[in-house]
Structure 1
Amino acid sequence: MEAESDAPVQLRELIISHCPKLQRFPKSIGCLNELKTIVIKACSNTDSLPKEFCRLKLLGHLELSDCKKLSLLPRRFGDLANMRYLDLVGCSNLKELPVSFKNLVLLQFLNLKGCKELIFRSDDFQNITKLEFFNLSGCAKLGELPRDITNQASLKELLLDGVERLRELPIQIGQLSRLRKMDIRRSDLLIGFPNSLGDLSSL
């Protein structure tokens, strides 16, 4: 991608794996406006995504796994309005989600396993209500779950293995009526369970 005019605009799927010297993507990636799937695995030197990445309006599936130097997502990441599947497993230097993250209203699958530096703002999930799978295992700095997690009426799996600082579950967690699996192993500071846990009849 030497220039924007040379970009193969009909590309629908982009897979990049085990490219340890890849640090950044060219701005022209924003011209790939037919992209629906991006998989970037074990690019251990990739530390950022260009703001032009957020022009990919058809992007529904994004994997950025084991990109250990990635510390921030683009400010307008929430412009990726078609995003349904987001996998950030092993992005161990990711510190926070952008303010616009709450605009990913179609998001169904979110994997943040091993994002051990990550902490949430109180409204990161304010407009997100369609999650079916949510993995926070190994997010060692989280002391509490996102405030709006109990709005996820479709949530089926909630994985919290190794969330070492987690002290309590939301009082209204019983509202997650479709929850079939919850893993809370190795949460040594957890002090108890809310009464509403008994309302999770699908577990």
Structure 2
Amino acid sequence: MFKHIFNIFNKPEEVWSALRSGDISIANLYIQVIIPLSLIPPLAGYYGTTQHGWQVGNNPPVKLTPDSALPISVMYFLALLAAFYIIAQLIHWMSSTYGERQPFTRCLALAVFSAVPLLLAGIAQVYPELWINLLIGLIGMTYAVYLLYRGVPIIMGISDQQGFLFASAVLAASLVSLVATLAASVILWDFGVGPAFTH
């Protein structure tokens, strides 16, 4: 399973075919892929915001206090875990519309391995300058979308035309879940899980 993380970059079709035909379990996906990769952005973000901070103009760097960054990082991690599960459930639910219903593990594998570039791009949060994170995040997002559009027809066993429509629906659902996560973070700020700034 671990080798698929690296092969998704240079042999994506092989990885998608292996995930479709292989015997994968939800536990293995979470233990070997989802949890380790989902730790990267929150840990990098915690380190970057508490140690380096970000600078606006010629002002001194702004940082988060460790006490405020820790709960934010934990919530970030939990949100990633929940997002994968929710998106996989949506893929599972939509799969019958585009063909036969696929096992949930395949749907989860599709959601997770499509997002590998985005999760690895999270390492950029070690240095939380806006332009660096935007650039690396955009590269990660572009390749993640490419992987999604390549993976859907293979994992779901459908035509490229159906795969395009299916992948577009998954992408739209992912954007909705992103907006919902942002809204939830604003609500959580009202309950004390908000940032406290320092210099």
TM-score (norm. length: structure 2): 0.26
Whose relative contact order is higher, 1 or 2, with alpha carbons under 8 Å and at least 6 apart? Answer: 2
Structure with greater helix share of residues = 2
Structure with greater strand share of residues = 1
TM-score (norm. length: structure 1): 0.26
